[in-house]
Chain A
Amino acid sequence: MAEKLRILIVDDEMIVRESFLHWFKKDGHTVATAASGFEALEKIEKFPYEILFVDIKMPGMDGLELLKKIKAGYPDTIVIIITAYGSIESAVHAMKMGASDYLLKPFKPEQLSLVLEKIKQQKKLASEYNYMKECLEKITRFDDIIGQSEPMKKIFKLIPEVARSDASVLLTGETGTGKELIAKAIHAKSSRAHLPFIAINCGAVPDSLLESELFGHQKGAFTGATYLTRGFFEVVSGGTLFLDEIGEISAKMQIDLLRVLEEKQITRLGSREPIKVDFRLISATRRNLAAAIAGESFREDFFYRINVIHIPVPPLRAHKDDIPLLIDHFLNKYSQEMSKRVDRISVEAMQLLKQYHWPGNIRELENAIERAVVLSRSRTLRTSDFAFLKLALTPTSGSQALRDMEVSHILKVLDENDWNITRSSAVLGINRVTLHKKIKRLGLQKPSP
């Protein structure tokens, strides 16, 4: 379906306003008119119009003055200048002030369609750009999910089926199991694939900020709200919203989200105008929500809303058969990324990685490979490259104090690296000065040859 826009026509001539109104209504857009710049400012404050068609010549406040005010208060709003005078100078001036385009009245029907098409493209790009800019660090990869084990095959079968429907999906599983990748795969296979995919980690954003991030806010809604900001619910426009760590949100936020899911409309902070929103919700959590419901920290009605389709994602230790495949994939990836030829792993190292219980799941495995590739000086990764994992495999007595564990671990690493401080500190993930200090403080000594 074509995207429907919220358009405001500002012209002092009624016949022109009517003409625009009827024309855009035929395309199904939401259209309103204003006879003056003042009326336009009043209207835009009450309703979030996306595009303004502004006549340059108007009594009172002229088009250029209105453009200036709009760009100062609502920089995201697109303004198209209309002029009957054909004065290129004023049109150029308007473009310099931030107008997106101009139309010389009267225009051919195709011109109007072209302008609208251009605006739609521009809006899409701006929306994508803003999102990419803000979340660059959040965007990792859209790689295919990897796995040949039975539990993963089941999920692969489920993804296209789930993608076809628009129902809310809840992904549960431990941290690092690839919940976001599955959410992205569902999005990529759905009819919304060409629209944005926005991921928000609810646990990482304070509650008050989360509200403004999701719903957006009017100018002046709170101290520091100098601009009107569109929330993720609006920015996602038709795409998929992925709320990670949904179990962490407050009771109030649960009620607010429940209302959005039921009514499919939102109200920006500081505004009373409801705005229709369209998105598919995929949530994820590592918490046991059933227990949270029993403990009354999670609302049951909200749970049923987000849990229309439930996909449990298994921890890596439940599909260890996939470990060689995953290692191969990460080796390829990181050796390419770092332009370093590390493409093999020794049998012992593979055995070690298979034995490890991977509490941090696939993410931990990926980090382990990345770290090993960075530090490796040969083409093949060996057990010594995974020294940092070995400690977890070594059975330790329960009574061992933290200090003792630190001593034994640092000694082990130092021994493996021939007491080379630079290499050992890199393995330990601390800098050289800290390692020197620790050696001194813990009274460690290099064994005599």
Chain B
Amino acid sequence: MEDTQIMQQRKTTIGVFAFGDVPAIVLKVIAAHISGYLKIDAEIMPSVTHPYYALDRHRLQYDCGLILQTMNANRFDGYEKVIGVLTVDLFVPILTYVYGEARQGGKIALVSTYRMRNNPHSKSELSSRVYERTAKVALHEIGHLFNMLHCEDEKCLMHFSGNLSTLDKTPLYFCRYCTVYFRDALKRR
């Protein structure tokens, strides 16, 4: 596999960590998806404290911009990119909610399990489905960290999903063009 060869030439590792109390299984599923679908090594890192500072008291949601700004102070040595996992509701000021957030070409991405259920407080939805959705958002945000843009193709991981039905239809892999782009992005590092 060409992808594996690239990996062998230059070791890339993505770190997965929790903000506060996040079920370990979620982190494991995300790490497994990163290794399985992106062919990049993924490691689970020690968790960090819950981002109380980012809670917006009017919206009762957590501001992604503030969390990313705060986390940027860390160096995360040994990891090329890192992804932080939360269980709370995330937002950016212009949007009512986001499933995850990453800056184009940045180092840190965020993903939340909060809206991965049709009803955030429901217990009836299959956990496996919730885990897969979270992992899908994580892979999408990692794409942005490697400078990938949203893709028009509905059958591409980089297609933008604004609701769960679109997210469920989005595959876990890139389209032909994004595959090439991702491979190039890895080579360019």
A: which residues have CB within 8 A of B?
Answer: 1-2, 13, 15-16, 18-20, 22-23, 25-28, 82, 105-110, 112-113
Contact = CB atoms under 8 A, between A and B. Distances in A.
B65 to A, nearest CB: 6
A195 to B, nearest CB: 15
Interface residues of B, number: 19
Cβ-closest 3 pairs across A and B: A110-B162, A109-B162, A28-B149
Contacts of B91: 106
Nearest to B152: A2
Contact of A22 (B92, B96, B149, B150): B92
Contacts of B152: 1-2
B107 interface: no
Given A16-B94, A27-B149, A27-B160, 12 more contacts: A13-B93, A15-B93, A19-B93, A22-B103, A105-B94, A106-B91, A108-B96, A109-B98, A110-B162, A110-B163, A112-B94, A112-B95
A108 B92 contact: no
Contacts of B160: 26-27, 109, 113
Contacts of B98: 109
A109 B137 CA distance: 15
A103 B126 CA distance: 35
A19 B98 CA distance: 12
Contact of B94 (A19, A25, A28): A19
B144 interface: yes
B94 A23 contact: yes
Contacts of B149: 26-28
Given A2-B152, A27-B150, A15 B65 contact: yes
B13 interface: no
A107 B96 contact: yes
Given A15-B65, A22-B104, A106 B150 contact: no
A25 B162 contact: no
Interface in B27-55: none
A82 B95 CA distance: 12
29 contacts: A1-B152, A2-B152, A16-B93, A16-B94, A18-B65, A19-B65, A19-B92, A19-B93, A22-B92, A22-B103, A26-B160, A27-B149, A27-B160, A28-B149, A82-B94, A105-B93, A105-B94, A106-B59, A106-B91, A106-B93, A106-B94, A107-B96, A108-B95, A109-B96, A109-B97, A109-B162, A110-B162, A112-B94, A113-B160
